[in-house]
Structure 1
């Protein structure tokens, strides 16, 4: 198509879905529109790579891949009469890694389990998976991995497995999850190739997710089914069970190993060996010229004998990976991709899985559930991934119109179902540790024989806004939503120097651990300090002691003390916190106290949350930044079944 013709093309219609499957051997493009509940495929094009610019599904040569993608796109534009601009793509599974992890929460008494508690449970499991995954990486590796999704494989309620926790009551719950990670270069190379030819990436998903969306409709996912997409470089695997997709994995053995076996045995170049492999699937013999110029005739029986070992390896690896991710053989297996057409693959996988060969089928029959065409036969298993990308986008499994802004920029999304605020944060580099502040580490010393505790400064809570309003991590995110997130800031550790204990009489003698030290010596945990006066320093009690029913005391940012009665220093305020009186001195800078200042006095353990944080002032739900005044009654506690909105 000439440049002048391109200029005359109309812009891509809003409802036009354009998908590119960028594979190891070829690029397939599909364009269509949604009619009812199905995608109508209007145009389809395929072009082989002229060079090995893709290795095992990952882009090696961005310029060459972009060149082939431009060819496919131009042909589609010529058919449609539209200039294509927005493209849906999928990241390859070659570098996909998964990590299993579990997380448990316990409550002092049976609690009703709402969505927020379940989100916190899953977030804890995701955090464990991230930690385990990171610890397993090569310390010298410079690869940066991103969490791109997770699946809750199993829930437990009071040690019994259960499919859903919502609205049940329990004292102990657990979630087992599979978290999925991809290296950043896989995604960045896709974006770079598309940008090079002027295409905007409208949606991005994982290839195994796209393929399973085309091959295994949602109404079949109650069954334990496995999809294997056998490409040229990798074989992607996805498993469904109990209504959802429960795991992904991939095998680094695929169609290229078969081609390479033919190359070595018959002295063929790669393209000739690839041609033999494809033709012998449809005819009994093929004539080919080897690299020495000698013509050979290869029969189907000859080829099967030649590739027997490579095919056995492929089938064994696929069967083992299915059993690994599924915890045993699947009830049935669907084979997709160009490699699925190879004779003996079905029987080989069935044999290694020890299931009837009729339980292993070639994909394609279910494509009609979500797609149709007046022009093309869509039942080819090679179309699983390109159709899956287009179907996912067109039917709102992942859609070009679904976009979310995070901190002012468009969030990177790997979307396959309903998404929450937590999903967005996790997909864009944040962790569960960014959600809750931690008070700085406390300092405990022995002062004149009495244990004295100094407390670190309170942390600053995270700020989480959804469309300008305070949000929960379990809130569902819809297209066009805007998220603003400022991570929690941990407080500073407690600090105390010897001279701070002698503020009243700086000239008095004192020892630290039996020795004389300079007055500006920083004290450490466990230090024993003896002063000439033998009196404890003024300070504040342990927040936990206050909530245990001890008398209220004057609170100062120093060490434990037990004055005879509450006093309110100038500028201070008196409060009731969780039904216990607390007296606070005025802040040195004259600023007001906020509700977040009282977190460490509440007795809750922010490092081990047991539910939704409830914040109330004078009986009304409040926020961390609520300023306080004398006489206010405060409530701060974890309440899993609380219906009010946490702040």
Structure 2
């Protein structure tokens, strides 16, 4: 009777285009001790370029590998470590800019905002370029360069400036690659305990972390694709893929010698032998070919393979690297290292087969592990085994397993970006403002603030910089943008306005909804002052229900991937507070980009004449750009010389100086010069708590209003 798989038993399964390799092991003395290896080739072409085509056929071959491993070990295998093929990996460059009205020190929050914004922009570009190709998963990113006020920086931390920009390269993987992989494991009744990318796994086996300070490249040449990973300065900085691999050699032999695919594979494997190869063609005629003639036949395909690999390396790395490691079954093609070196204009000694470093992470008493074909299965097993704390690395997001493709510390923001959420989901935007003219005078109505995102880990409030650990339960409700400002002519002038009203030169009814840039003319009767206008408050945005990730997929412990300068929260944006808990002060946000922390909706003001208490007060002086919304009760302040009462917040929260930006009468999306923020005549801070009767001034530094 078979025993159950122990927690320390690592089962790695490398599902390749031409064959499936299974490997069993356990951790001993800080390395993976390999106890069993089994390999089985596909009976027919059930996979194409790393993509599973015939799920049932692939599952049958994998099942045979599993059966033999179970017999060898006497263990019923339940949990498996796998890797998604690097097929169709897409890299996309994008940048994101934050502008401030005053000098700002670049801290972890700001860097996080920049990187998250750039990743979201990259996702938008990928989605546009890949319309109709299905969903893509973001598997990692790296910040290539930052700028401060136009000056390039490699490390942004603690630099000061007003305009910050991040240039990021993000890598994406088609969802079909992952989903077909899970279809096979589900058919086999296996639970996926670790998921990574094949190029990451191969790199972990072939290039130890200690030598990644050098500019090195790992090329994993399979049957269908050649996956490429580049590392330098201690981290992996990019991935790409060449669409040529070992199958191109086989297909050339099929065409040149008129043989079937299986015979072509056998002839390819005989390259390097000193003996002539014998084979039958598809007509049944037997032939013999010398090693020299066979090498001559495959030369065009081998040259094409080397050329495309070199082009992809140069494109991703920006030049020839210090050294290149070739791994995978296709790397054993005779003469390929020399061809790649020639295309890169490098010394042949700098291009070598991987395998020399495998023993840094794995060893065996029974198997020779230096074979470059073992790079991926060894990497899958070692990546999972050497990072394990327990036998489960599942992280759930809103009740569903999340997809993770990285190693080391992952923040909540990383998890959200990798599972389809965007920068805007973390930071709600204020609704669109409404700007128009009334009798030649500019009027401005602000949109409503949005609703904050809410995020927690294991039931406790968290920040976007919080590190995610194995088994964490993440709950996330995205931020929701506020409602756009709306106003009808009746709300502007009163439903019973007796005069003639035109919009852009044409008469309009009182229920006409004013549009951006409209020119309203009201003649024949006095126009009501701003304080007496009835403004319709749009319905406040309500929190969205917790979204479900697209597909339930068990996660892996994340793998090492392109490391940005900082991986911290996008902003100090806590989940909705409980009544008994104090609300943390918000971090100041960039004015020009309107990254202002959204607050609960301000109720619509009522007509002054309907409030006896309001009638008893002296009529306030009308400022040039007093916002159209009025409120009663709450916190009394003076904004730009005009009295203002702020509606009490839900659960009694404080008001901050940043809350008045939306009420200042200025269009912060179109600032062209610095702004003064004053409280009682002194320079104020965005996070400064407002007190009763504070005198607040928000204006351009040249003291001209908009």
* DSSP 3-state at the match of 1:307: helix
1:108 CA displacement = 4.8
> How do 1:24-63 residues align onto structure 2 when only pairs under 5 Å count?
24-63=17-56
* Partner Cα distance (1:461, 1:182) in 2: 30
* Partner Cα distance (2:213, 2:350) in 1: 16
1:345 CA displacement = 0.3
1:373 CA displacement = 0.9
* DSSP 3-state at the match of 2:507: coil
Q: TM-score, normalised by structure 2?
A: 0.78
Equivalent residue in structure 2 for 1:584, among 635, 642, 645: 645
CA, structure 1 residues 172+220, in 2 after alignment: closer, same or farther (shift >3 Å)?
farther
Deviates most, 378-387 or 492-501: 492-501
Alignment correspondent of 1:424: 415
| 1:338 has 2:310 as partner | no
| 1:529 has 2:590 as partner | no
Equivalent residue in structure 1 for 2:620, among 560, 563, 568: 563
Describe the superposition over 1:419-459 as per-residue Cα deviations: whole angstroms up to 9, x where unpaired: 11111001111011212222221222222332222222221
1:296 CA displacement = 1.8
Describe the superposition over 1:401-436 as per-residue Cα deviations: whole angstroms up to 9, x where unpaired: 333221122211112332111110011110112122
| 1:600 has 2:657 as partner | no
| 1:130 has 2:123 as partner | yes
Describe the superposition over 1:449-492 as per-residue Cα deviations: whole angstroms up to 9, x where unpaired: 32222222221121122333333322221222222211111112
| 1:89 has 2:82 as partner | yes
| 1:572 has 2:629 as partner | no
CA, structure 1 residues 289+514, in 2 after alignment: closer, same or farther (shift >3 Å)?
closer
1:219 CA displacement = 1.1
User: Contact between 2:7 and 2:391, CA under 8 Å: does it hold in 1?
Assistant: no
* Partner Cα distance (1:162, 1:267) in 2: 58
| 1:369 has 2:392 as partner | no
Alignment correspondent of 1:316: 307
CA, structure 1 residues 277+460, in 2 after alignment: closer, same or farther (shift >3 Å)?
same
CA, structure 1 residues 569+309, in 2 after alignment: closer, same or farther (shift >3 Å)?
closer
User: Contact between 2:245 and 2:330, CA under 8 Å: does it hold in 1?
Assistant: yes
* DSSP 3-state at the match of 1:248: strand
Describe the superposition over 1:12-58 as per-residue Cα deviations: whole angstroms up to 9, x where unpaired: 11111111110000000111111232111111111100111000111
CA, structure 1 residues 580+187, in 2 after alignment: closer, same or farther (shift >3 Å)?
farther
Deviates most, 101-110 or 425-434: 101-110
RMSD: 3.5
Alignment correspondent of 2:72: 79
| 1:208 has 2:206 as partner | no
Deviates most, 104-113 or 519-528: 104-113
User: Contact between 2:430 and 2:483, CA under 8 Å: does it hold in 1?
Assistant: yes
User: Contact between 2:216 and 2:232, CA under 8 Å: does it hold in 1?
Assistant: yes
CA, structure 1 residues 82+350, in 2 after alignment: closer, same or farther (shift >3 Å)?
same
CA, structure 1 residues 198+241, in 2 after alignment: closer, same or farther (shift >3 Å)?
same
> How do 1:139-538 residues align onto structure 2 when only pairs under 5 Å count?
139=131, 141-157=132-148, 159=150, 161-396=152-387, 401-503=392-494, 505-525=496-516, 526-538=518-530
* DSSP 3-state at the match of 2:244: coil
Aligned residues: 597
Deviates most, 363-372 or 492-501: 492-501
* Partner Cα distance (2:641, 2:171) in 1: 46
Structure 1 runs (4+) greater than 6 angstroms displaced: 565-570, 577-582, 589-594, 632-635
* Partner Cα distance (1:397, 1:224) in 2: 28
* Partner Cα distance (2:63, 2:510) in 1: 74
Q: TM-score, normalised by structure 1?
A: 0.84
In structure 2, list runs of 5 or more residues that go unmatched. 534-590, 592-601, 609-618, 672-686, 699-706
1:214 CA displacement = 0.8
* Partner Cα distance (1:238, 1:399) in 2: 29
Describe the superposition over 1:99-124 as per-residue Cα deviations: whole angstroms up to 9, x where unpaired: 12233444455544332222112112
1:134 CA displacement = 2.1
1:396 CA displacement = 1.5
Deviates most, 151-160 or 280-289: 151-160
CA, structure 1 residues 245+156, in 2 after alignment: closer, same or farther (shift >3 Å)?
farther
* Partner Cα distance (1:397, 1:558) in 2: 59
CA, structure 1 residues 163+458, in 2 after alignment: closer, same or farther (shift >3 Å)?
closer
Describe the superposition over 1:364-416 as per-residue Cα deviations: whole angstroms up to 9, x where unpaired: 00101111111111000001111111111112289853332211222111123
1:275 CA displacement = 1.0
CA, structure 1 residues 42+634, in 2 after alignment: closer, same or farther (shift >3 Å)?
farther
CA, structure 1 residues 605+478, in 2 after alignment: closer, same or farther (shift >3 Å)?
farther
1:148 CA displacement = 2.1
In structure 1, list runs of 5 or more residues that go unmatched. 1-7, 545-554, 609-623, 638-647
Describe the superposition over 1:68-95 as per-residue Cα deviations: whole angstroms up to 9, x where unpaired: 1111111111111111111111111122
Equivalent residue in structure 1 for 2:7, among 10, 14, 32: 14
* Partner Cα distance (1:267, 1:129) in 2: 46
* Partner Cα distance (1:165, 1:591) in 2: 38
* Partner Cα distance (1:89, 1:527) in 2: 63
User: Contact between 1:38 and 1:371, CA under 8 Å: does it hold in 2?
Assistant: yes
